[in-house]
Amino acid sequence: MTTFDANGVTLEQVREYVWEVKREGSMRTPARVLASEALLEEISQDKTLEQLQNATHLPGMTNYAICMPDGHQGYGFPVGGVGALDAEDGCISPGAVGYDINCGVRMMRTNLTYNEVEGHEEELVDSLFTNIPSGLGGGGIVETGIDDVEEILARGVDWALENGHAVEADLLHCEDEGRREGADPSKVSQKAKDRGKNQIGSLGSGNHFLEVQRVTDVFDDQVGEAFGLKEDQIVVLIHCGSRGLGHQTCNDYLRKIERQHQGLLEQLPDKELAAAPAGSQLAEDYYGAMNAAINFAWVNRQLIMHRTRKVFERVFGRSWEDMEMDLLYDVAHNIAKKETHTVGSHGRPAGDGDAVETEQRELFVHRKGATRAFPKGHPEVPAAYRDVGQPVIIPGSMGAGSYVLRGGEASMDLTFGSTAHGAGRLMSRTQAKNDYWGGDVKQELEERDQIYVKAQSGATIAEEAPGVYKDVDEVVRVSDELGIGDKVARTFPVCNIKG
């Protein structure tokens, strides 16, 4: 049996690309890492494996705590982590969701070809940068008061449709149709609402971006056709989240948990895994607030997308409807959702060979830097894609391709219907700024790859330099080989704006 040892954690290879940390001591379940040996070597360079092992101590952890191929160290719970916690006897953990609630991605198709965009790249990137707010602090596409924020938190993209920032088809091609049931704006603090009211329709900073891309490869013609993708087509990828409102909401509930559930905290190896017991008032309050922040993030991306349509109209002199600028899909990354899954009874893992009695259980499925990846036929896949499977969007770095996948048939058994969310960081932001100079990165991307980048500062570009990330091709290859997310198409950057 092949083993891998790093930082005091021993993993045994269960089968190709599946590595397991055996249950021992006070661990409630084993832990699993889904990775090639090359990716596992990179994952082991920080505290990811320790954090994953710590996560198995969360009450109600079911089957395994799981790390995706793009995993890296996060706050308490690793980024790229999936944890399914029993919704009756377990808990819900803000640290296992993340500060940027519903950080996610959406892709918009167009009928433009790369040839039609060539020669317009600089005009396009300048116009996008001018018209779409980015960077730290306030400033959004729309000015709203608290009453509007309340509506957005409660209704999600329905609010954008009613106010002229969306069309009906946008809702039909968004996870949950852009509205989370169970959202409770009253559980979001006034401070969070005040932070959010001036940020609706803005990218923010860090790794958030808007990127115009061209489709370079279609690997599955049938699914590609269902997704409306073909080679040489121009698409737009938007990656951002719930801005200051989501961050404040996470922080508020972490502090409340520290005050109200100290007993549970003392049972955990890391207080950053702070969790509220299922059924407690605080768990219910956080779930309502988190769902409201999810709605806020969907509206944020919707407004950015609709403004992008207007920018394309000005640059290319055609209506966005004529350019067929339609939403392919929007999927969340940092989220915990109540879902019903088939699991082994009495907490025993199912689906790996041994005959295990199974049952249906309602779980809080935490996906932190992981993407829902439901297969074809699943009732929660939008009707437009139910015959082929849910679209999954995997962004790469500025100098690498991104991917569109579809939910794989093995995802429900292996990962609670989940796969990776991106390339995954290799290097901290501080180290990146020491190793790279933003101006050099920008110049190299433009001269070598004809990729045009514009950001609020050179430091932002340095933090997101291509060498800062894992190999997205390898991440996607492992997902595809495991059958949790199947390759459909690959894209390559044309121009990129970021905070």
Contact 393/402 with Cβ under 8 angstroms? Answer: yes
CA 294/CA 173 separation, integer angstroms: 16
HSE (CB half, 13 Å, CA atoms) of 309? 23
- Cα 145 to Cα 149, 151, 200, 292, 402: the distances in Å are 6, 10, 11, 16, 37
What is the amino acid identity at position 306? Answer: H
Per-residue burial over 276-298, b if 16 or more Cβ lie within 10 Å, else e, is: bbbebebbbbbbbbbbbbbbbbb
Q: Where are the alpha helices (DSSP H) in 132-189?
A: 146-155, 157-162, 168-172
Contact 330/175 with Cβ under 8 angstroms? Answer: yes
H or E segment to which residue 418 belongs = strand 418-420
- CA end-to-end span of the chain: 47
What token pair was written down for 318? 């055609």
Catalytic residue positions? Answer: 421
Q: Is 138 exposed, middle or buried (0-12, 13-18, 19+ CB in 10 A)?
A: middle
Binding positions? 100, 207-211, 239, 333-334, 395-398, 402, 421-424, 498
CA 274/CA 286 separation, integer angstroms: 12
- Cα 6 to Cα 3, 65, 69, 206: the distances in Å are 10, 18, 16, 29
What token pair was written down for 228? 């409306």
What token pair was written down for 268? 């955990």
How far is residue 93 CA from its own chain's centroid?
17
Per-residue burial over 412-433, b if 16 or more Cβ lie within 10 Å, else e, is: bbbbbbbbbbbbbbbbebeebb
Reference 268, options 47, 63, 53; nearest CA is 53
H or E segment to which residue 490 belongs = strand 485-498
Binding positions for Mn(2+)? 100, 208, 239, 333
Binding positions for GMP? 207-211, 333-334, 395-398, 402, 421-424, 498
Quick check: helix, strand or coil at residue 340? Answer: strand
Radius of gyration of the chain (CA): 21
Angle between helices 281-316 and 146-155 in degrees, nearest 10? 100
Quick check: helix, strand or coil at residue 83? Answer: strand
